[in-house]
């Protein structure tokens, strides 16, 4: 089974609104990563948060990590049409494979 | 610097055939991972190579195999293709596992 599970599976919002997606995982981690994938293309790394960090920012992205709940959230503020994509969280499983969740499909409506 | 290059981008094969996909990682990256992505199963880990050694393998049948060369370039091979092998195959390279991974654009394989 997947290490990370994103929620919701799909999210549709208006341009300018904020988008929040969540990720839960099962085992202890050293870090958690978020990636974006535009339709049918490769994944692009967005941000990495270490297990001893609680929050991290990168531009319009804000990631939080709660290791006690084994969960993370990705917030995209002031969304744009170009943010339309699928978003995945990823964690290292067994130190030898990076495992991805099923992803959240985000649609930004103009 | 050049990104991760996967070739070919698109491929159509017939059931029973075999296929070889190629991945050229970013210069200096020794870890190369392969993933299969389908609408139903999402991103499934296939295997990971580091310095020509396969360190881990996902839950795929033996028809799926791979290798890594001394220049870190990697290939994956699928023999006796089945319709269910139709997918986007993604390659990712990184300095080491668990840090930022860089993905290629993928190879879209269609088995007919």
pLDDT tens-digit profile of A66-109? 999 999 999 999 999 999 999 999 998 776 788 898 999 999 99
The partner residue sitting opposite A96, judged by closest CB among B55, B99, B102, is B55
The answer to whether the CB atoms of A42 and B99 lie below 8 A apart is no
Distance CA A70, CA A17 (A): 27
CB < 8 Å to A48, chain B: 99-100
The partner residue sitting opposite A45, judged by closest CB among B33, B42, B101, is B101
Question: Nearest-CA neighbor of A38 among B106, B31, B91?
Answer: B106
Q: How far is B97 from chain A (nearest CA, A)?
A: 7
A1 pLDDT more than 80: no
CB < 8 Å to B105, chain A: 41-42
Question: pLDDT tens for residues B31-82?
Answer: 999 999 998 888 999 999 999 999 999 999 999 999 999 999 999 999 999 9
The answer to whether the CB atoms of B43 and A100 lie below 8 A apart is yes
Confidence bin at A27 (pLDDT 50/70/90): confident
Residue position matching structure tokens 């080491």: B96
Instruction: Supply the pLDDT for residue A97.
Output: 81
Please count the residues of chain A: 110
The answer to whether the CB atoms of B48 and A97 lie below 8 A apart is yes
Judge whether A73 is closer than 8 Å to chain B, CB to CB: no
Give whole-number Cα distances, B40 to A77, A105, B36, B65, B112, in Å. 30, 14, 11, 22, 18
């Amino acid at each position: 089974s997947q290490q990370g599970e994103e929620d919701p599976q799909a999210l549709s919002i208006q341009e300018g609104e904020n988008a929040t997606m969540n990720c839960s995982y099962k085992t202890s981690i050293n870090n958690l990563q978020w990636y974006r994938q535009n339709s049918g293309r490769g994944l692009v790394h967005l941000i990495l948060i270490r297990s001893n960090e609680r929050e991290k920012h990168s531009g319009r992205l804000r990631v939080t990590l709660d290791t006690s709940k084994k969960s993370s959230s990705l917030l995209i503020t002031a969304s744009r049409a170009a943010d339309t994509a699928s978003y995945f969280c990823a964690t290292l499983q067994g130190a030898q494979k990076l495992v991805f969740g099923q992803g959240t499909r985000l649609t930004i409506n103009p | 610097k050049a990104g991760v290059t996967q070739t070919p981008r698109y491929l159509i094969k017939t059931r029973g055939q075999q296929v070889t996909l190629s991945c050229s990682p970013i210069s200096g990256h020794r870890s190369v991972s392969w993933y299969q992505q389908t609408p139903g199963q999402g991103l499934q880990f296939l295997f990971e190579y580091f310095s020509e050694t396969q360190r881990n393998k996902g839950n795929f049948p033996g028809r799926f195999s791979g290798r890594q060369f001394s220049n870190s370039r990697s290939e994956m091979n699928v023999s006796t293709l089945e319709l269910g092998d139709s997918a986007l195959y993604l390659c990712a390279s990184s300095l080491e596992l668990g840090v930022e991974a860089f993905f290629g654009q993928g190879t879209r394989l269609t088995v007919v």
